[in-house]
Amino acid sequence: MLVKPPRGTRDWLPVDQIQRQKALRTIQNVFERFGFEPWEGPAIERAQLYAKKGSVEQKLMYRFKDLAGRQLVLRPEKTPTLARIIASNPLPKPIKWYNIGKSWRYERPQAGRYREFVQCDIDIIGVKEPYADAELLACAHTVLNELGLKNFTIKINSRALANQLLEDAGVAARKRAFALRIIDKLDKIGKDGVKKELLQRGISAESVNEIFTFIDLKGRLEKIEREITIDPDVKAILDKLVQLLDAYKIPNYIFDLSLVRGLDYYTGLVYEIVAGDFGSIAGGGRYDNLLKKYGAEDLPAAGIALGFERIYLLIKKEDVQPIARALIVPIGQTLPEAIELACTLRTYGIPIDIDLSRRRLSKSLNYANKRRFEYVILVGKEELAKRKFRLRNMKSGQESLHTIKQLIKILA
């Protein structure tokens, strides 16, 4: 009889949704503290928007036609929408924008990975690498700190560096993009899997061996530089990035030459934040050539998306208090007075619920207990005659009489 939510999606009850909204508000507050401003785009987009190479794989998109026959998709990510908006509007640069919203991908559901998921995106358009990248990482870092996450690490790589290393390993230019896509599967298919696929795609055994000497490289920049020679232009960017992360007082980062980040449109720095058992909880990078493809000026750009679903699983608690500070329970024929009290307390900004069920007191108190209310305010004829209300502390069971003024003071 019940129609369940589609596979990979889910319903959120208040016990979760109260916490989710609180966390999303923290994220939004930090974004705004960093000067990012909100934008919003449609959840449904024309399929052509993702036809350009480099976005999410076509088979992962939910596709449909409207009645006029237009090919539409549910957005699988938000960067193409952002690119369209930047291209369509003359705006002073740089642009620092954020978006908190859902995207949809037809992927195999796992813990913290749904087919419908909330991502929190920050993007900086018009600032060269690595200045924007450092500000983005500082913002994401502050978000995770304020959410109370302790053990997370920022992994950094450079597409330019990766391409240089593939070149040094003798991989032809036309094979580098798919070689990166194969290396990106390291976590999923392991070293042997990556080796096998690289060989299958015509990369020589010698090149594959060289690739594996560098994708194992992880650590501070000095360590990487002891092992490999970095092209001077790339080195200048990485050195500057390290200086900036220092200025932002971010200690928990490493360079990881195996880091690819799936999307083809990244051009320079790429980054990922990993936490606990979940692996990646945020990722992004520089996409300097993307905006031009959408008809905008040729602007440098970079962005990070925080994966909210996984972050939420890391921070969620089992119990939450109800949103209302107290439940007002009318006793007998006192509903008008109970409503008046609710209206007054609400005017003072105090969240107040009122039991409108017209049931026995014991049932109302039972309900208040189940809902974990801290206070119940009993409105009875006797007390009303004295212009007072009975406040019951649901934990201790203690009751005391108060005027409205006193109630406001206690509950505000």
- Residues of this chain, 193-232, that bind a second copy according to CB under 8 A: none
Judge whether 306 and 119 are in contact, CB under 8 Å.
yes
Strand pairing class (152-158; 389-393):
unpaired
Does 408 help bind a second copy (rule: CB under 8 A)?
no
Does 412 help bind a second copy (rule: CB under 8 A)?
no
CA nearest 208: which of 175, 251, 238, 236? 175
* CA 326 – CA 331 distance, rounded (Å): 16
Phi, psi of 391 (to 5 degrees): -100, 125
Shortest distance (Å) from residue 147 CB to a second copy = 16
Decide whether 199 or 247 has the Cβ nearer to a second copy.
247
Among positions 6-45, residues that touch a second copy (CB under 8 A) are 6-7, 9-14, 17-18, 20-21, 32-45
* CA 49 – CA 122 distance, rounded (Å): 20
Does 91 help bind a second copy (rule: CB under 8 A)?
yes
Among positions 233-272, residues that touch a second copy (CB under 8 A) are 243-244, 246-249
Q: Which of 23, 27, 56, 74 binds a second copy (CB under 8 A)?
A: 74
412 burial level (CB within 10 Å; 0-12, 13-18, 19+):
exposed
* Four-point Cα dihedral 258, 259, 260, 265, nearest 10: -150
Among positions 326-365, residues that touch a second copy (CB under 8 A) are 327, 335-336, 339-340, 343, 346, 349-358
User: Amino acid letter at 213?
Assistant: T
Among positions 271-330, residues that touch a second copy (CB under 8 A) are 294-295, 322-324, 327
The tokens of 280 are what? 């990646």
Name the region of 181 (left: φ>0; alpha: ψ -120 to 50; beta: rest): alpha
Among positions 99-118, residues that touch a second copy (CB under 8 A) are 102, 104, 106, 115-116
Binding mask 144-183 for a second copy (x = CB under 8 A): ----------------------------------------
Shortest distance (Å) from residue 191 CB to a second copy = 30
Decide whether 1 or 385 has the Cβ nearer to a second copy.
1
